[in-house]
Amino acid sequence: MKTNGNSDSRGGTSPLIANKAIDDAIDHAVRMMTSREPAPGLDGRVLARLEQQTRGSVITVPRLVAASLAAAALIAVVMTSSRAPVTTGPSITTNVPAVPPAPRSPESTPRVREVASGESVRQSTRTAARRQRTVNAASLEPTPETTVTVPALEVIEPIQVTAVRPVSMHMSEIAIEPIQVAPLRVEPLSSTPH
């Protein structure tokens, strides 16, 4: 390698090198970066890994079978429990009388106050409705004596709608009268001095 030993702008020595020497230096650097030997026993590690994975797959098959069986059993339990009546526990009905609606404000009351009282009425009605709901305790044990029977819905009669008759319009019925304009009269301005 031909060197000249000139100083560069960075303060260090950066020798001038011939083109061929630079090519050689690049080749050498690349070779140093790539031409390494694998750590001893790479083939052994590969075979061990293969064996381990093969063994692993053998162990995995029974595990997969067991997992799928467990999943199937779980699904079966869920399906069975979903078919059974859910509301079989003792039912507790709380019948709290609804709060009477707030008296309407007189007409003279400001609008803001009227809105507020209307809201309170709605809230009290909602609370009363909530209190009247039936609360069922969840239980898997069937208790037929406490089961609430819901009556079937009544059949609603079909609604009859009479057809709409379109009324035709005759041109002869329309009469347009001419606009009558009253004649304008312009009177001369009075020229009396103040």
Partner 1 sequence: MDLVRLAQAGDSEAFGVLVTRHQRAVYRAALAGVGSSTEADDVAQEAFVAAYRKLGDFRGQAAFKTWMLAIAWRKAMDRRKSVSRWLRSVVVPSESAEETDDLVERVRSPKRTQEEEISGAQLQRTIRDLIRTLPQKLRDPLLLAGSGEYTYDQIATMLEIPLGTVKWRVSEARRILKQKLAALGYQR
Q: Which positions lie near partner 1, rule CB under 8 A?
A: 1-6, 8-9, 12-19, 22-23, 25-39, 42-43, 45-47, 49-50, 53
Q: Which is nearer to partner 1, 21 or 102 (CB)?
A: 21
Listed residue (91, 95, 94) closest to 145, CA to CA? 91
Give the shortest CB-62-to-partner 1 separation in angstroms.
22
Q: Which is nearer to partner 1, 37 or 157 (CB)?
A: 37
Q: How far is CA 51 from CA 39, 42, 65, in A?
A: 20, 14, 22
Give the shortest CB-91-to-partner 1 separation in angstroms.
56
Give the shortest CB-70-to-partner 1 separation in angstroms.
29
Give the shortest CB-116-to-partner 1 separation in angstroms.
59
Q: 3-state DSSP call for residue 186? A: coil
Query: Which run of H or of E encompasses 126?
Result: helix 111-131
Q: Which is nearer to partner 1, 45 or 122 (CB)?
A: 45
Q: Which is nearer to partner 1, 19 or 190 (CB)?
A: 19
Give the shortest CB-49-to-partner 1 separation in angstroms.
6
Q: Which is nearer to partner 1, 35 or 162 (CB)?
A: 35
> What are φ and ψ of residue 151, in 5° steps?
-65, 150
Give the shortest CB-25-to-partner 1 separation in angstroms.
5
Distance, in Å, from the CA atom of 54 to the CA atom of 47, rounded to the nearest integer, reads: 10
Query: What are the residues whose beta carbons fall under 8 Å from the beta carbon of 26, sequence distance 6 or more?
Result: none
Distance, in Å, from the CA atom of 131 to the CA atom of 95, rounded to the nearest integer, reads: 7
CA atoms within 13 A on the CB side of 73: 6
Q: Which is nearer to partner 1, 53 or 139 (CB)?
A: 53
Distance, in Å, from the CA atom of 97 to the CA atom of 27, rounded to the nearest integer, reads: 97
